[in-house]
Amino acid sequence: MPEERRLTLLEAIREALADEMERDSRVVLLGEDIGRLGGVFRATDGLLDRFGAGRVVDAPMSELGIVGISVGLAMRGLRPVAEIQFADFIHAAADHLIGEAAKIRYRTAGDWTCPLVVRTAYGGGFRGGPYHSQSVEAYYSHVPGLKVVAPSFPADAKGLLTAAIRDPDPVLFLEHKGTYRSVSGLVPAGEHVEELGKARVVRPGDAVTILAWGKMVHESLAAADDLAEEAVHAEVIDLRTLLPTDRGTIVASVLRTGRLCVVHEDSRTMGFGAELAAMAAEACLDALKAPPLRITMPDIGGIPVADEMEDAALPGRSRIVAGVLELVHRAGGRYARPEFDPAIPEAASVMEVAMRREHLEQVMAAVESVCADFPDLNAEFRWDGIRRHDEVRFDLDLGRRAPAAGGGTFTIIDYGEGSSLLGIPAVRPGQTAALRVGAVREGKSWLALTVDHRAVDGGTAGRFLGRLKAAIESGGGGL
Amino acid sequence: MALARRLDQHMWRFARSGRAHFAVPCSGHEAIGAGYGVALEPGRDFLAPHYRDLSAVLAFGLTARDVMLHFFAKAADPCSAGRQPYAHWGSRRLGIISLQGPQPNHVSHAVGVAWGSRLLGEDSVTWISFGDGGAQKGEVHEAMNFAAIHRIPCVFCVENNGYTQSVPIRLESAVAEIWHRARGYGIPGVLVDGMNAEAVHEAAIAAVGRARSGEGPTLIEARCYRYLPNTSNDDDSRYRSREEVEGWRQRDPLIVLRAQLHAAEADAIEEEAETIAAEAATWALEQPDADPGTIYEHTYA
């Protein structure tokens, strides 16, 4: 067994760079502040003194030039490793990654090649705001000819970076800032190479397949611990390489678990999760027990700097737990439910209500009371007319605590603590309304009311919800 | 130069008659590529040509047949095996750095190649040519800045034909003297008559020598004129007068060259060039077409 030491992910990256520079004199580093400063994150600390200014080169502020010149170095037969300080700045060099590095082999039919590595720090959680927090994997995973790698553990960081430097093709190496110092682990000393293009099952399970990379692997593992307490055993797969994607490992897992949850910090639409969901739909449709679930940053214009705003934007442990619980306990329908979306609270059928932690009896009493004045919400739509019920009988759907039994006249869905802040309920056959009580946070909860529009118009639904809010907030069921 | 002109004429006719995809004329630029092409040593030096430098790639060892295989995007196209449109020359064997589409991204690549030569302990010089249009992009600034800081063994050559496709130089730069920019990088700047191969050659010898001796890059501005439209898809009558084009015809680099030769010698060169160009075009047209089954090759190693 080779010697192993406990290193942070950052130390593992530095070791891979140093070892490869030692082994191969063609390996040269180019980037901003990588010399005397040792990189803004210190990934190259000490390398200038060890290998000299000829091989560890402080570049001018020129992201385009750093990557463009590195492309030329690679074409000439060197093994450049370029550093872009923050992934947010890499788009200035996108032309050389997308248009040049990725295409040189193809457009010259293999005559010229580009064994280039571009390392960059990505990811949020540091109050860095819109320009120091982004995840960029989706843009570059759309580029055939590139390889996109995102390690989660120190040993992989060393092994994958070593493989990337030795790889004959260009590799974008994404390092999550949140793993640099807070993730440590045993790393083999000396030669350690991990094959690119291979995902790894980091926690086996049978209820759901969670796919993640970078810091989100660690959030997913923490969520899997919580889920295990609920007897939901999640399989967590660390993708490690996004492009080319390890289809075999992913498909085998989803076929076994029947459920897919992708977690990424990048925004939702056209994120890498969309490709993984498509892969599951193409290869596993008959095995899927529920639609693929994507837990992502919402489609907002950037990652805000304020603590509360960034925390609300980025996915993490609790959202993964709540999402997976819904995925596992859903009632078998194959339609997709919208995940938390900040645009929805503006809809007339959603309202924020002050809510105690123990509130179910109170909500039921309020619904019963308000229904007396809004009989069409405790009714059934029939083509020959609306049939109103004399009394309210509840279908209570409490998720894993107690799924709905059926046979009622009004549905209340309340998955309790740890569930989504907001979910849109579906109206059951024979009823005209369903109320979803979102998880209580800071003494408040989102109520979402769905009605059968053939029986109840939006104005009526809104007034019903307003009266319900007043009834709940007044502390009792009565008015 | 004569061969480049004759090949240019053949390609122009093929493209305009719909028998080829796309032509990128070189007529008017031949003296530049010829002048610097013979100042370099194929096999030792590297060339990042401007897309009008057919004469330079011929000087570097690409044959007329190679050029026409590339032009017709045949299976045996040595530059790209049918993957790139014409004038995207390249050959690792010959040291011709593959030319890409977006101008002038090859400037950065070539600076990297030149730097790489030094890191490998070789004394190669890399020649980098691009147009007056390309010269306006940030790409060039970043590459020249880096090359000047590190005295990279390369030469920057701006081939200024007065137009970026249709836009005249006065709308491309407030300073008409592009070579003056060299001062901003602390490197020598040289203005040369790009219609005169001898003049270009002289400037190239000096710049290549300087680069090879470790003194760093030089910026050369070579003034020239493009006689034909920008490409076979362009209509230059929309942006420049026939009188202007005819005026520059009087200074045709081939006329300038002819004046330095005996008439009989010049005639023999012209005749031989036409024979080679015509043969290459006829031969290449009959070569096997590209195989669609190969589209999956070469995305990765």
Q: What is the pLDDT of residues B42-61, one digit of tens each?
A: 999 999 999 999 999 999 99
Asked whether the beta carbons of residue A73 and residue B115 sit closer than 8 angstroms, the reply is: yes
Give B227-281 pLDDT, tens digit per residue: 999 999 999 999 999 999 999 999 999 999 999 999 999 999 999 999 999 999 9
Contacts of B149 in chain A (CB under 8 A): 60
Query: How much is the average pLDDT of B204-212?
Result: 98
A24 touches chain B (CB under 8 A): no
Dihedral, A375, A376, A379, A385 alpha carbons, nearest 10: 120
Q: Which residue of B has its CA nearest to A53?
A: B150
Contacts of B117 in chain A (CB under 8 A): 76
Hey, of B91, B96, B108, B139, which one would you mutate to test binding to chain A, going by the most A CBs within 10 A of its CB?
B108
Q: Mean pLDDT highest for which of A333-347, A402-416, B123-137?
A: B123-137
The C-alpha atoms of residue B140 and residue B185 are separated, in whole angstroms, by 12
CA distances from A300 to A27, A124, A294, A310, A342 (A): 39, 14, 15, 11, 9
Cβ neighbours around A265 below 10 Å, total: 29
A243 touches chain B (CB under 8 A): no
Tell me the angle at which helices B106-119 and B138-149 cross, rounded to the nearest 10 degrees.
20
The Cα of B170 is separated from the nearest Cα of chain A by a number of Å equal to: 27
pLDDT of residue B262: 95
Q: Which residue of A has its CA nearest to B70?
A: A108
What tokens were used for B137?
A: 């992009």
Which of residues A336 and A101 earns the better pLDDT score? A101
Asked whether the beta carbons of residue A145 and residue B300 sit closer than 8 angstroms, the reply is: yes
Query: How much is the average pLDDT of B110-139?
Result: 97
**B25 secondary structure, DSSP code:** -
A34 touches chain B (CB under 8 A): no
The pTM (predicted TM-score) of the whole model is 0.83
The Cα of B116 is separated from the nearest Cα of chain A by a number of Å equal to: 5
CA distances from B221 to B155, B177, B193, B257 (A): 11, 8, 8, 20
Is A247 exposed, middle or buried, given 0-12, 13-18 or 19+ CB atoms closer than 10 A?
middle
* pLDDT mean across residues, chain A: 92
The C-alpha atoms of residue B90 and residue B78 are separated, in whole angstroms, by 8
Write out the E strands in A303-415.
Answer: 350-354, 379-382, 385-388, 394-397, 410-414
The C-alpha atoms of residue B61 and residue B46 are separated, in whole angstroms, by 12
Which of B80, B116, B150 faces A72 most closely, judged by CB atoms?
B116
- 3-class DSSP state of A422: coil
The C-alpha atoms of residue A423 and residue A413 are separated, in whole angstroms, by 9
Asked whether the beta carbons of residue A60 and residue B83 sit closer than 8 angstroms, the reply is: no
- Looking up residue B239, the CATH number of its domain turns out to be 3.40.50.970
CATH topology of domain A344-473: Chloramphenicol Acetyltransferase (3.30.559)
The Cα of B103 is separated from the nearest Cα of chain A by a number of Å equal to: 11
Hey, of A111, A116, A118, which one would you mutate to test binding to chain B, going by the most B CBs within 10 A of its CB?
A111
Asked whether the beta carbons of residue B109 and residue A71 sit closer than 8 angstroms, the reply is: yes
The C-alpha atoms of residue B85 and residue B101 are separated, in whole angstroms, by 9
A244 touches chain B (CB under 8 A): yes
Query: How much is the average pLDDT of A396-407?
Result: 81
The C-alpha atoms of residue A86 and residue B19 are separated, in whole angstroms, by 49
Which of A28, A167, A169 faces B119 most closely, judged by CB atoms?
A28
The one catalytic residue among A132, A192, A218, A329: A132
Dihedral, B121, B202, B48, B229 alpha carbons, nearest 10: 180
Task: Provide the β-strand partners of residue B177.
Answer: none
The C-alpha atoms of residue A305 and residue B101 are separated, in whole angstroms, by 39
Q: How many A-B residue pairs are in contact by the CB < 8 A criterion?
A: 140
Is A99 exposed, middle or buried, given 0-12, 13-18 or 19+ CB atoms closer than 10 A?
middle
Asked whether the beta carbons of residue B300 and residue A105 sit closer than 8 angstroms, the reply is: yes
Contacts 24+ apart (CB under 8 A), A327-333: A327/A208, A327/A259, A327/A261, A327/A290, A327/A293, A328/A207, A328/A208, A328/A232, A328/A259, A328/A290, A328/A400, A329/A399, A329/A400, A329/A403, A329/A415, A330/A290, A331/A397, A331/A403, A331/A404, A332/A289, A333/A426
Is the four-CA dihedral A302, A308, A312, A315 of positive or negative sign?
positive
The C-alpha atoms of residue A153 and residue A155 are separated, in whole angstroms, by 6
The Cα of B185 is separated from the nearest Cα of chain A by a number of Å equal to: 13
Which of residues A462 and B2 earns the better pLDDT score? B2
Give B25-47 pLDDT, tens digit per residue: 999 999 999 999 999 999 999 99
Quickly list H helices, A28-103: 47-51, 63-75, 94
Domain count, chain B: 1
Q: Which residue of A has its CA nearest to B300?
A: A145
The C-alpha atoms of residue B228 and residue A131 are separated, in whole angstroms, by 46
Q: Which of residues 352-391 of A touch B (CB under 8 A)?
A: none
A269 touches chain B (CB under 8 A): no
In a domain, B154, yes or no: yes
Percent of chain A at pLDDT exceeding 90: 81
A53 touches chain B (CB under 8 A): no
Contacts of A113 in chain B (CB under 8 A): 301
In a domain, B296, yes or no: no
The C-alpha atoms of residue A12 and residue B79 are separated, in whole angstroms, by 41
DSSP labels for B162-215? Answer: SEETTEEGGGT-S-S-GGGGHHHHTS-EEEEETT-HHHHHHHHHHHHHHHHTTS
Contacts of B12 (CB under 8 A, 6+ apart): B23, B25, B228, B232
The Cα of B149 is separated from the nearest Cα of chain A by a number of Å equal to: 9
In a domain, B194, yes or no: yes
Hey, of A69, A75, A172, which one would you mutate to test binding to chain B, going by the most B CBs within 10 A of its CB?
A69
In a domain, B290, yes or no: no
Contacts 24+ apart (CB under 8 A), A227-233: A227/A321, A227/A324, A227/A325, A230/A325, A230/A400, A232/A207, A232/A208, A232/A324, A232/A325, A232/A328, A233/A205, A233/A206, A233/A207
CATH superfamily of A4-188: Thiamin diphosphate (ThDP)-binding fold, Pyr/PP domains (3.40.50.970)
What tokens were used for A174?
A: 């994404």
Domain boundaries, chain A: 4-188, 200-329, 344-473
Which of A57, A72, A108 faces B111 most closely, judged by CB atoms?
A72
Q: Which of residues 122-161 of A touch B (CB under 8 A)?
A: 144-145, 147
Whether the predicted pLDDT of A163 surpasses 60:
yes
In a domain, B10, yes or no: yes
Asked if the domains at A200-329 and A344-473 fall in one CATH topology, the answer is no
Contacts of B299 in chain A (CB under 8 A): 105-106, 144-145
Instruction: Give the helix/strand (H/E) hosting A31.
Output: strand A27-31
pLDDT of residue A404: 76
pLDDT of residue A457: 85
The Cα of B113 is separated from the nearest Cα of chain A by a number of Å equal to: 5
Is B21 exposed, middle or buried, given 0-12, 13-18 or 19+ CB atoms closer than 10 A?
middle
In a domain, B205, yes or no: yes
- 3-class DSSP state of B271: helix
Percent of chain A at pLDDT exceeding 70: 95
Whether the predicted pLDDT of A478 surpasses 60:
no
Contacts of B275 (CB under 8 A, 6+ apart): none
Is the four-CA dihedral A322, A327, A328, A331 of positive or negative sign?
positive
Catalytic: A96?
A: no
**A99 secondary structure, DSSP code:** I
Which of B79, B117, B150 faces A76 most closely, judged by CB atoms?
B117
Asked whether the beta carbons of residue A65 and residue B146 sit closer than 8 angstroms, the reply is: yes
Q: Which residue of B has its CA nearest to A101?
A: B109
The Cα of A272 is separated from the nearest Cα of chain B by a number of Å equal to: 21
| Domain A200-329 architecture | 3-Layer(aba) Sandwich (3.40)
Asked whether the beta carbons of residue A78 and residue B119 sit closer than 8 angstroms, the reply is: yes
Cβ neighbours around A139 below 10 Å, total: 20
- Give which of A310, A258, A276, A144 is closest to A199, Cα–Cα: A276
Q: What are phi and psi of A252, to 5 degrees?
A: -60, -40
* pLDDT mean across residues, chain B: 97
CA distances from A5 to A2, A21, A154, B58 (A): 10, 20, 10, 58
Whether the predicted pLDDT of A339 surpasses 90:
no
The C-alpha atoms of residue A389 and residue A397 are separated, in whole angstroms, by 20
- Domain ranges, residue B8: 2-285
Task: Provide the β-strand partners of residue A451.
Answer: A433
Quickly list H helices, chain B: 2-16, 30-37, 54-59, 64-71, 106-119, 138-149, 182-185, 197-212, 242-249, 253-258, 263-285
What confidence category does residue B17 fall into, taking pLDDT thresholds of 50, 70 and 90? very high
What tokens were used for A357?
A: 């932690």
Q: Would you say the ipTM is above 0.90? A: yes
Give A285-309 pLDDT, tens digit per residue: 999 999 999 999 999 999 999 999 9
The Cα of B92 is separated from the nearest Cα of chain A by a number of Å equal to: 6
A100 touches chain B (CB under 8 A): yes
Contacts of B35 (CB under 8 A, 6+ apart): B196, B197, B198, B199, B200, B201, B203, B204, B222
What confidence category does residue A346 fall into, taking pLDDT thresholds of 50, 70 and 90? very low
Q: Which of A249-253, A398-402, B65-69, B123-127 has the lowest mean pLDDT?
A: A398-402
Asked whether the beta carbons of residue B146 and residue A59 sit closer than 8 angstroms, the reply is: yes
Asked whether the beta carbons of residue A68 and residue B101 sit closer than 8 angstroms, the reply is: no
| Chain B positions with Cβ closer than 8 Å to A | 46, 79-81, 83-84, 88, 90-92, 97-98, 100-102, 105, 107-117, 119-120, 138-139, 142-143, 145-146, 149-150, 297-301
A61 touches chain B (CB under 8 A): no
A233 in Cβ contact with A207 (< 8 Å): yes
The C-alpha atoms of residue B5 and residue B227 are separated, in whole angstroms, by 11
Instruction: Give the helix/strand (H/E) hosting A30.
Output: strand A27-31
Q: Which residue of A has its CA nearest to B152?
A: A69
Asked whether the beta carbons of residue B299 and residue A145 sit closer than 8 angstroms, the reply is: yes
pLDDT of residue A335: 45
A31 touches chain B (CB under 8 A): no
Whether the predicted pLDDT of A334 surpasses 70:
no
